Amino acid sequence: MQGKIALEEHFAIPPTLGDSKVFGGNVWQELEHRLIDVQDTRLREMDKHGVELMILSLNAPAIQAIPDTKEAIAIARQANDALAEHMRKRPTRFAGFAALPMQDPEAAAAELTRCVKELGMVGALVNGFSQIGSPDNATYYDAPQYRPFWKTCEALGVPFYLHPRNPLPVGTKIYEGHNWMLGPNWAFAAETAVHALRLIGSGLFDECPKLQVVLGHLGEGIPALLWRIDGRNGWMQEPHRYPAKQSVGHYFRNNFHLTTSGNFHTPSMIGAMTEIGVDRVMFSIDWPFEDTCQASQWFDKAEISEADRKKIGRDNAIKLFKLKI
């Protein structure tokens, strides 16, 4: 398929580049090049495989792993200015997600506003929880102090992409002796799914009903478990106890969108389409950690209708992010 739009596609700036080495140390020379490069290798791969536009975002965990709030604010601004320059060079090929210093909700709201209104970005991508004041602190965004930020995001009318990161070392005992489960194998999905469910259960989407959140990797496992989450042991007649007014499935189908990033598996995609509707699923690659050729060849041949392929590959992203292409 020609004209695909991909939207979990990463770049790095010098202060954040080293964060990605752990995810590709054996191919670091090539991975480093692909993270820093935007206007050369990336474009050639896009042209070769029918990707018209990428929505770029900073690598992980980057800003979220900077405990010093002032430094996080400064690096986020540096990254966003660098991204805006890439967008200016090729506005028909690159759009952008803002990196945000969630260590300070007020500063994050201000930076998102600047990125959307002044730099022309189409949303935000944030790498999970933020470390605030201490490397051992993990702060999640269902906390009350983030409500004004979420209301700003809703008012701006732009989506928030909740991207994975590993749990902190103090939270990895469950993986002890099995470090292979960290990162994209398992821990990324587990960590991000819990964060998404925290947002849902907190009542956030009752207060911000128009807010839209994007999850990668076909929903971090949540679509396969929606029935169980809401159904529980129905014969016990034990209701969920959380502030949210509706079922988890209600919010997931009305406030969330999913991408295919790094999960090039047709049954999983069809399952996601069945659970939340084809209009809420979008193509993505997860460049440079995944291969554009593999992602594109899989998607272009996946056993879905051509109408659904066009929606997932292009039309849904145009509508959600109000892209003018």
Tell me the residue ranges of DSSP E strands in the chain: 4-11, 51-58, 94-96, 124-126, 160-162, 213-215, 256-259, 281-282
Respond yes or no: is residue 286 known to be catalytic: yes
Long-range contacts of the stretch 288-292 (C-beta < 8 A, 24+): 288/10, 288/31, 288/34, 288/35, 288/42, 289/10, 289/20, 289/23, 289/24, 289/31, 289/184, 289/262, 290/261, 290/262, 290/264, 292/45, 292/46, 292/48, 292/49, 292/51
Catalytic residue among 286, 291, 300, 315: 286
Ramachandran region, residue 278 (left: φ > 0; alpha: ψ -120 to 50; beta: rest)? alpha
Catalytic positions, please? Answer: 286
